[in-house]
Amino acid sequence: MFLHGTSKINSKGHLEIGGCDVTDLAKQFGTPLYIVDEELVRQRAREFMTAFRATGLRHQVAYASKAFCVMAMCRVAEEEGMSLDVVSDGELYTALQAGFPAERIHFHGNNKTPEEINMALDVNIGCFVVDNFIELQLLNALAADKGKTVNVLLRITPGVEAHTHDYISTGQQDSKFGFDLSNGTAFKAVEAAIAQPNLKLLGVHSHIGSQIFEVEGFRMAFEKVSAFAVEIRDKLNYTFTVLNLGGGFGIRYVEGDTPLPVATYVQAIADAVLTTCKGADFPLPEIWIEPGRSIVGDAGTTLYTVGTSKEIPGVRKYIAVDGGMTDNPRPALYESKYEAILANRANDATEEVVSVAGKCCESGDMLIWDLNLPAVQSGDLLAVFCTGAYNYAMASNYNRIRRPAVVFVKDGKADLVVARESYKDIVGNDLIPERLRKQAVSK
């Protein structure tokens, strides 16, 4: 059994995270429950910050809040000295409500609306990562209306395919994101950006994908990006001061996943920066990165209560938990794999192989196939590990299932940071038009 961060099995044979016995957490907060090991989040953030400091490069580590965006997490990101990457008005609003400094926020997205751009302009966010020509014009016009000049990076697709699931790989040429480097579009975008009076072009951004286990993709992306920076300097006499290499640093979900230590990724990036810039006599740029999953992924655990089971002799045994694809859509979307244990009987010997189903009315609502567990009983607690990234963030109300609560645990204390949705929340935005109300009454 692989335990992350502060997780351990206590003397009662129960899973404990952040000094809290999860069986107590289940009693106090109910299940399903997202449990976040705050210390591990902070540790991951510090690994990036420390590794960058050691390189001597000017840098920003921007937490990609899409991975898990709640106000408490924004507070932790700020306290750890990170910047913040947001991709929507909702994420921006969350960050601002949490008091995150606007000047450390970077705004991403391939279809930012005028309302979103205005909202970000009004609070003077640090940087827009511009994705396309329409946005370039729109941003300049809206900034001009407000008499402002804004920092921008241009998102380019460097033509590097990271080895990961197709749906989460973004740096290849055939992608909805960014300006294509290889066909000259990125060059035209730089010319267009420089010509806009209300935009200050800092440099370019590239993101090659997610859950990446090797440094080669980052190195290749940097080589392409830096060669582009040199080309721009030589042809347009314009020098980029920022290069952003995005996120995508992999984590260990299951046995066989082999992430590199954070310092290895960072050192490889720094080596590429130093060598290339020296070779091209290019002034050292500020390096930005945007880790999401690698900050919060392994710090999250989802706790479920087992309910029913179904055995099909000679085929398999299903056990069903009180959540599923509504709180973790990743297995259904990407065939993602997870490890799990019985949190209330963690020392019991494994006795059976079960497949873990959710409670949605959907055959594809499976969390884990073929998991070794002790003989499972109704009422057991199942802890699924590594659910900190893209779980709460991608949760839905399908089947009108209420989104679970989130607790931060640390030093034996559990703090509720997101309350479980209520029935009221479920119908909170519903309205019954007068004519239907009458019908309902007359039935």
Ligand X SMILES: Cc1ncc(COP(=O)(O)O)c(C=O)c1O
Ligand Y SMILES: N[C@@H](CCCC[NH3+])C(=O)O
> Mind telling me the catalytic residues?
361
Known binding residue 304? Answer is no
Sequence-ordered alpha helix ranges (H) in 347-431: 423-427
248 binds, among ligand X, ligand Y, none (CB under 5 to 8 A by kind): ligand X
Length of the chain: 443
Residue 223 is labelled as binding a ligand: no
Evaluate whether 47 touches 260 at the Cβ level (below 8 Å): no
3-state secondary structure (DSSP) of residue 34: strand
The pairing of strands 286-289 and 413-418 is: unpaired
Residues 376-395 binding ligand X (CB under 6 A) are 389
Q: Contact region for ligand X (CB under 6 A) — 20-28, 291-299, 358-366, 428-436?
A: 291-299
Restricting to residues 183-242, name those near ligand X by CB under 6 A.
207, 210
What is the residue type of 67? A
Instruction: Report how far residue 177's alpha carbon sits from residue 172's, in angstroms, rounded to the nearest whole number.
Output: 9
Shortest gap between Cβ of 60 and ligand X (angstroms)? Answer: 13
Q: Tell me whether residue 180 or residue 380 sits nearer to ligand Y (CB atom).
A: 180
Measured CA to CA, the distance from residue 203 to residue 190 in angstroms comes to 9
Q: Is 170 in the site for ligand X (CB under 6 A)?
A: yes
Closer of 23 and 151 to ligand X (Cβ):
151
126 touches, from ligand X, ligand Y, none (C-beta below 5 to 8 Å by class): none
Residue 330 partner contact from ligand Y, ligand X, none using kind-dependent CB cut-offs of 5 to 8 Å:
ligand Y
Please identify which residue in the block is written with the tokens 């050691």.
54
Any binding-site annotation on 214? no
Q: Is 330 in the site for ligand Y (CB under 6 A)?
A: yes
Straight-line distance from the first to the last Cα atom of the chain, in angstroms, rounded to the nearest whole number: 57
Which helix or strand (DSSP H or E) is residue 76 part of? helix 71-79
Q: Are 392 and 406 in contact (CB under 8 A)?
A: yes
| Cα–Cα distance, 145 to 277 (Å, whole number) | 38
420 is in an annotated binding site: no
Confirm or reject binding of residue 177 to ligand Y (CB under 6 A).
Answer: no
- 135 appears as a binding residue in the annotation: no
- Output DSSP code: residue 214: -
Q: State which of residues 187, 390, 392, 408 lies at the interface with ligand Y (CB under 6 A).
A: 390
Going by the annotation, the residues of the binding site for pyridoxal 5'-phosphate are 248, 290-293, 390
Q: Which residues bind ligand Y (CB under 6 A)?
A: 168, 170, 210, 330, 390
